[in-house]
Structure 1
Amino acid sequence: MAVNTMADHLLFATDHYMDNLHDQTAREFDYTRVLKSGDWTLWQHAFRNRLADLTGLTRMRELYRDVPLNPRTAEVESFPGYSREKLYISTEPGVEIPFYLLIPESGTKPYPLVLTPHGHGRRGKEVYVGNFADDGERRESLAGERDVALQAVAEGYAVIAMDVRGFWEMSREEEFGKSKVSSCDELQKRAFMYGRTLIGERVHDMGRLIDYASTRPEIDTSRIAITGNSGGGTVSFFAAALDERISVCVPSSYYCTFRGSLMHVPHCLCNFIPGVMELGEMYDISGLIAPRPVLFVNGVKDAIFPIEQTREAFAHTKMIYEAIERTRTDLCELYEGSGGHRYYKERVWPFIRHHFGH
């Protein structure tokens, strides 16, 4: 009796399937179409509006524009060199964003602001402010330089370190404290059913936090940077693309091509926007940040955002920046860390300092 083996079965031809999708899809906002006309303002305006629609952000802004922030303070603590407040604000009816606000003790007020969205760590914002659960979490986090909020306040900036929707205090009760890292999958499924996405919801949350920051006299909201690692890099990238109040963007361990990263290796469902490839590749979207300063930080050994595809994307981004702002060469950089999927602070703070003029 013959025994069936894998070789006897015709498996789904994923490579051919992906080639078909790629070849049959024309990107509506392919940046190369604007290189000759040079009408970047019109291109950015139309593209930003369409991307906001696709992520569900447009509808959220319309629905929740008049929802009061209702800030409430849960605690205030002092640490060497800075104070830390824990606060909550409303982002939509019945939904709050928990966050820490770090304010330096010295320096000249008002302070520039740094938003620090975290990545796929179960305890979210706590790691970024150095509120470690135990010595193991401390060692692992510091080895990956993930105390990003502490780095920022040490530079003399006000910092907002929030829980990103789906994590820690913004996770569902069913996942909180359980073995699951986040509520990303469950929240994304529900968002999809109503024409929304977690990326759009998270960008909306960043906007609400900027709204709150503008009520604080210690903060200079004309100078806002956003930086985070991995999933925090995703939020940083899309928030800067969709919210022009952000002055400087530094996404870490995210920038690549969609085809070479999200569609090449497994990723969390929260990364996906249905239909985005009909609008543009990741490097097309980077043109929505231009000519504001952007620093992409990636590890050369990052297995889920391969460096070769990151370099390919960056070459396209450089062309966009050179076309939009021909007189400056310091607005767009790629920094390559020597290791894998982690934060690399070495170039981050000099870049932000330079563009804040601080």
Structure 2
Amino acid sequence: MIEEESKEQKDIRMAGQPGGKLGQISVKTGQVHPSLMLKLKSHCVNGDSIKLDRRKIEEMDAVDAAAELRSQFVHVLSSRRSAQVPLEVKPAKPMKEPLYQGTPPPKSSEVMESCPKADIPNFKQLLNEENLYLTTEEGEQGHLPVLILSLKENTRSKRPAIVFLHSTNKCKEWIRPLLEAYASRGYVAVAIDSRYHGERAKTRTTYADALVSSWKNGDTMPFIFDTVWDLVKLADYLTARDDIDHSKIGITGESLGGMHAWFAAFLDTRYSVVVPIIGIQGFRWAVDNDKWQARVDSIKSVFEEAQVDLGKDVIDKEVVEKVWDRIAPGLAREFDSKYTVPFIAPRPLLILNGAEDPRCPMAGLDVTISKTCRAYEKANCADNFKVIAEAGIGHEMTSSMVKEASNWFDKYLKS
């Protein structure tokens, strides 16, 4: 059961509404509310990062502390935005040959094909497909490609929705098997292309190039944060649709998509059920314990560029810290998992990781899990939080994870 939200939580949920409080993102302007902006200036460091009084945050009650940290995260998201425009919906065409970055292109995924689906005769004929663009800000990357699958129904009943987020170098078409499976079971299944991926990419190196540009220029946040901005705008759109139950919008993703789901759910409580898959990790812990190599290797070009710029012979701890601070301010500090994940409470949260995942080491999540358990216990909903670390599994999504995610969503979105 999802607890009724407080006024403060509603203020955060209403991100996207003109005139909202607590640093809301306006559909019309995309800017932090002026009254909050004055408050945030005292926290600003070089226009990007925010120096938090951690003791102050910890002394607040859960609602106030969540609002404080969210408002500061909104400030960071707003610090590198293009000029804002009204949220618009534009028609798009299906992508027949989607762009996959990296080499070689991925093969079809048996893991996603394993997702439980309803046995419906003539399913393809009953499937409704929508392709559209949302305008989230000015500029090329401000056009958010969206793919939505659902069953054609004569009734006007509202249905639960789930947002699915792809991994690095993939695209929304890659996760179509999941969309079809959930659509067959009565969900409105939604996928997007994250920044510099899919339709938002021009070459097989677009994402890698964007990361390097972010390091060089500090004007964008292609690693996680810019897509989180898009996910707030997506929530604006989904909660305006008549066919969706606005209280039942889930979010999940694999790897990079799991990180997107984590931060979007932390920021925007309209995402009511959350399942990050191989995405939750402790960035600060990895730096402090010399366990950053696997994560760095996944986007190595930006770290190699930084190594040269910093006059280093090798990529070391200092290089890693400086890159994170530059391309995703606060990621390994005030917005790390041990501070942000607990504020997903009391909404149902299932964390799915591999027990041997070098990119998301479970040892780095001890504090995160402990603090999150306490948050759910204080909210009197301990059963709403669960962690599964699959034995013998590294950085990969498995059929077991797909099934666990499916069960979790059915439990909390179909009830």
The TM-score, its normalising length taken from structure 1, stands at 0.74
CA spacing shift, 1:48–1:184, aligned 2, 3 Å: farther
Contact 1:67 1:93 in 2 (8 A): no
Higher relative contact order, chain-length normalized (CA < 8 Å, sep 6+): 1
Give per-residue Cα distances to partners, 1:37-68, cap 9 Å, x unaligned. 561121111111112222x246649x52x424
Q: Distance in 2 between matches of 1:68 and 1:110?
A: 23
CA spacing shift, 1:32–1:154, aligned 2, 3 Å: farther
Match of 1:142 in 2: none
Match of 1:281 in 2: 336
* Alpha-carbon offset, residue 315 of structure 1: 2.1
The runs of at least 4 aligned residues of structure 1 exceeding 3 Å deviation read 27-33, 57-61, 75-78, 105-108, 190-196, 260-263, 269-272, 275-278
Aligned residue runs from structure 1 range 1-358, under 5 A:
28=52, 30=54, 34=58, 37=59, 39-54=61-76, 56-57=77-78, 60=81, 63-64=83-84, 66-75=85-94, 79=124, 81-95=126-140, 96-105=143-152, 109-122=157-170, 124-129=171-176, 147-171=177-201, 173=202, 176=203, 178=204, 180=205, 182-187=206-211, 189-190=213-214, 193=217, 196-198=220-222, 199-261=224-286, 264-265=292-293, 266=296, 267-268=298-299, 273-323=328-378, 325=379, 327-338=380-391, 339-343=393-397, 344-358=401-415
Q: Distance in 1 between matches of 2:150 and 2:53?
A: 40
Give per-residue Cα distances to partners, 1:236-266, cap 9 Å, x unaligned. 0011111121111111101121134476222
* Alpha-carbon offset, residue 80 of structure 1: 5.2
AA aligned to 2:144 is I
Contact 1:117 1:232 in 2 (8 A): yes
Q: Distance in 1 between matches of 2:79 and 2:249?
A: 22
Contact 1:148 1:228 in 2 (8 A): no
CA spacing shift, 1:164–1:293, aligned 2, 3 Å: same
Moved more, 100-109 or 225-234: 100-109
Point out where structure 2 has 5 or more consecutive residues left out of the alignment: 1-50, 97-122, 303-322
Q: Distance in 1 between matches of 2:352 and 2:182?
A: 16
CA spacing shift, 1:242–1:228, aligned 2, 3 Å: same
Q: Secondary structure at the match of 1:165?
A: coil
AA aligned to 2:207 is S
Give the number of equivalent residue pairs.
Answer: 302
AA aligned to 2:371 is H
Give per-residue Cα distances to partners, 1:106-155, cap 9 Å, x unaligned. 68731111111111134x111101xxxxxxxxxxxxxxxxx432332233
Q: Secondary structure at the match of 1:115?
A: strand
AA aligned to 1:225 is G
Match of 1:140 in 2: none
Contact 1:260 1:309 in 2 (8 A): yes
Moved more, 281-290 or 195-204: 195-204
